[in-house]
Amino acid sequence: MANAIEILSASKTYSNGTRALEPVDLKIQPGEFVTLLGPSGCGKSTLLKMIAGLLSPSDGRILIWNKPIDKVEASGHKLAFVFQEATLMPWSRVRANVRLPLDLHGDAKDEAEKRVNDSLELVGLSKFADAYPRELSGGMQMRVSIARALVTQPDLLLMDEPFGALDEITRNKLDSDLLDLWEKKKLTVVFVTHSIYEAVYLSTRVVVMAARPGRVVDQVNIDEPYPRGHDFRVSSQFAQYAKTLQDSLLRAAAMGASTDSASDEPNGSASNRSTNEAAQ
Amino acid sequence: MKHQKWLLPLIVAVFAIALWKGLVIALDIKPFLLPGPDLVVQTLIKDWGLLGSALFNTLRITFFAFLAAVILGSLIAFAFVQSKWIETAFFPYAVLLQVTPIVAIAPLIIIWVKNPTVSLVICATIVALFPMISNTTLGLRSVNPGLASYFKMNRATRWQTLVRLRIPSAAPYFFGGLRISSGLALIGAVVAEFVAGTGGTGVGLAYQILQSGYQLNIPRMFAALLLITVAGVLLFVLMNWLSKLALGHWHESEVKHEE
């Protein structure tokens, strides 16, 4: 079976010379729910943005359904991106916000309207179609953002810490709703988070990343059947998976610290050095 | 709270007018130095034929200058946003326009442009233009970066991005510019009339103030001043209303918050 995503030694160096991401090799099958897990600065968002085509890799290649990103649409596959914030247009009602990608694409009005209704139904916001974003809670705004992603009927959903700003209870609810959508719509999802628990609960596979330099250090399969109920969150298997991921993250952090302690706190060590020189 | 917004300034006004009248009576101040408020209103009614047409002329100049400032200012802002080159090349001259005192260049414009109305409109436009340029430019640049990426990812055309993203984002700044610019258009019109002096056919309120000064007709001077002030306040109220109409349903500045 063709890979949904194929990342071939893709790396990213910013124009100021900062190495954001060491070369990454990763294959994602259709229907997988893959989470990129790691601390800030590990390049997980960078990797996701490169998959989405928002950033281009400095080196290496990324194929989506065996096509480079700019040829994906022609091949009939669609991808949608959900940002860290809801990024809604505050001057438009929920309905118009969800319809935006269809409007930009120039789709027919009544067909678009129907898909907007379906999409709002999926995220449970049909009643709020005529509200303005500011009238909604953070969790509801995020649902609108997801509805806007689903309205294009994507096969691939890329999500960049979408629930990071929400309280834990709302986040758990949205996580389990997201899994329902994933199963119902047979989506392939790549999900960025820095929460170990969110990664375990959601994923078929977790890609563990580490910072300085940003790199992939480990991959862990979560072999737990779906649907995953709320009991899974408090089960011993859940704790075991969480421990595996935590150990992996700690090991990577310790390794980074021992191989190059100076790079761990570049500002701190530079100022230490200058104080030493001043003392001499 | 709703009533306080009107009531408190009204009480201040009543006290100020009473104090004014009281001082005029108590110190026996002559009307050619400081007329009482009642005399000002009487003069306003008596000289309405003169003052009313002057008000109309000043407002006409203000209106055209404001219109020109809004249209020109928005067009210039669009040009600035479309190309960094245009902005870098021309922005210093927009600033130049702003910092040069209008009284200093008005005589030149009045000499160059034959039609007195047009020359006054040009002067007032120069005064009112800069806030429109700078506010609209700022607004067109104040696009949420997340939304901008979203538009880019959906391959929005330049036109779609302008109409669906940049212009709505700029609206709050644009209306802020309108508020400043409308007042400045009135000030510009009055200042230009002062410089123009007789100014030919349609005389404005500034001319009436000058003439009243020469004739020591201080009550009429006050009446003309009152008309300018009221016109300015009404302009401001009108712009506030427009802003509320356009932004009321979504922008923080205009949305009513529960207290």
What is the interface pTM, i.e. ipTM, of the complex? 0.79
Q: At what angle do helices B205-214 and B48-82 cross, to 10 degrees?
A: 130
Asked if A55 has any chain B CB less than 8 Å from its own CB, the reply is no
The domain segmentation of chain B, as residue ranges, is 40-247
Asked if A134 has any chain B CB less than 8 Å from its own CB, the reply is yes
| CA gyration radius, chain A | 21
Residue A269 has pLDDT above 60, yes or no: no
For residue A3, give the nearest of A80, A62, A58 by alpha carbon. A62
- Sheet strands (E) in B81-235: none
| CA gyration radius, chain B | 22
Mean predicted lDDT score pLDDT of chain B: 89
| Residue in B144, B149, B252 nearest the CB of A54 | B149
Alpha-carbon span A141 to A125, nearest angstrom: 10
Alpha-carbon span A48 to A53, nearest angstrom: 9
Residue A248 has pLDDT above 90, yes or no: yes
Count the neighbouring beta carbons within 10 Å of the beta carbon of residue A244: 17
Taking residues A168-187, report their average pLDDT: 90
| Residue in A81, A87, A101 nearest the CB of B144 | A87
Query: Chain B residues within 8 A (CB-CB) of chain A?
Result: 144, 146-147, 149-156, 160, 164-165, 168, 171, 249-252, 255
Taking residues A241-266, report their average pLDDT: 73
| Residue in A83, A103, A104 nearest the CB of B146 | A83
pLDDT of residue A261: 44
pLDDT of residue A17: 82
Asked if A101 has any chain B CB less than 8 Å from its own CB, the reply is yes
Taking the CA of residue B185 and the nearest CA in chain A, the distance in Å comes to 29
Residue B142 has pLDDT above 70, yes or no: yes
Alpha-carbon span A182 to B39, nearest angstrom: 80
Give the residue, A18 or A98, on which the prediction is more confident.
A98
pLDDT of residue B5: 79
Write out pLDDT tens, residues B196-213: 876 555 688 998 898 888
Residue A262 has pLDDT above 50, yes or no: no
Please state, for a pLDDT cut of 70, what percent of chain B lies above it. 95
Taking residues A235-252, report their average pLDDT: 93
Residues of B in contact with A48 (CB under 8 A): none
Pairs of residues, one from chain A and one from chain B, whose beta carbons lie less than 8 Å apart = 46
Q: Which CATH class, in words, describes the domain spanning B40-247?
A: mainly alpha
pLDDT of residue B202: 66
| Residue in A52, A90, A104 nearest the CB of B156 | A104
Ramachandran class of B217: left when φ > 0, alpha when ψ lies in -120 to 50, beta otherwise: beta
pLDDT of residue A230: 86
Taking the CA of residue B153 and the nearest CA in chain A, the distance in Å comes to 7
Residues contacting residue B4 through CB under 8 Å, at least 6 positions apart: none
DSSP state of B88: H
What are A37's strand-pairing partners?
A: A193, A208
Residue B64 has pLDDT above 60, yes or no: yes
Alpha-carbon span B3 to B8, nearest angstrom: 8
- pLDDT band for position B2 (50/70/90)? low
Taking the CA of residue B146 and the nearest CA in chain A, the distance in Å comes to 6
Residue A273 has pLDDT above 70, yes or no: no
Residues of B in contact with A105 (CB under 8 A): 154
**Backbone phi, then psi, for B243, in 5-degree steps?**
-60, -45
Residue A105 has pLDDT above 60, yes or no: yes
Q: What stretch of H or E contains B242? A: helix B218-247
Residue A275 has pLDDT above 50, yes or no: no
Distances (CA, A) of B1 to A250, B13, B256, B259: 58, 19, 13, 10
pLDDT of residue A270: 39
Domains assigned to chain A: 5-78+154-279 (3.40.50.300)
Residues contacting residue A26 through CB under 8 Å, at least 6 positions apart: A5, A6, A7, A207, A216
Cβ distance B149 to A100 less than 8 Å, yes or no, reads: no
pLDDT of residue A229: 86
Asked if A90 has any chain B CB less than 8 Å from its own CB, the reply is yes
CB of A263 closer than 8 Å to CB of A212: yes
Residue A59 has pLDDT above 60, yes or no: yes
pLDDT of residue B1: 58
Chain B's closest residue to A54, CA to CA, is B153
* Reported pTM: 0.80
Please state, for a pLDDT cut of 90, what percent of chain B lies above it. 57
Cβ distance B168 to A84 less than 8 Å, yes or no, reads: no
pLDDT of residue A268: 39
Taking residues A221-242, report their average pLDDT: 91
pLDDT of residue A271: 39
Taking the CA of residue B86 and the nearest CA in chain A, the distance in Å comes to 26
Residue A117 has pLDDT above 90, yes or no: yes
Q: What stretch of H or E contains A157? A: strand A156-160
Nearest 10 degrees: CA dihedral of A244, A247, A253, A259? -110
Residues of A in contact with B151 (CB under 8 A): 104
Taking residues A12-30, report their average pLDDT: 89
Mean predicted lDDT score pLDDT of chain A: 86
CB of A36 closer than 8 Å to CB of A218: no
A42-46, B84-88, B211-215, B246-250: least confident range:
B246-250
Alpha-carbon span A155 to A182, nearest angstrom: 10
Cβ distance A89 to B165 less than 8 Å, yes or no, reads: yes
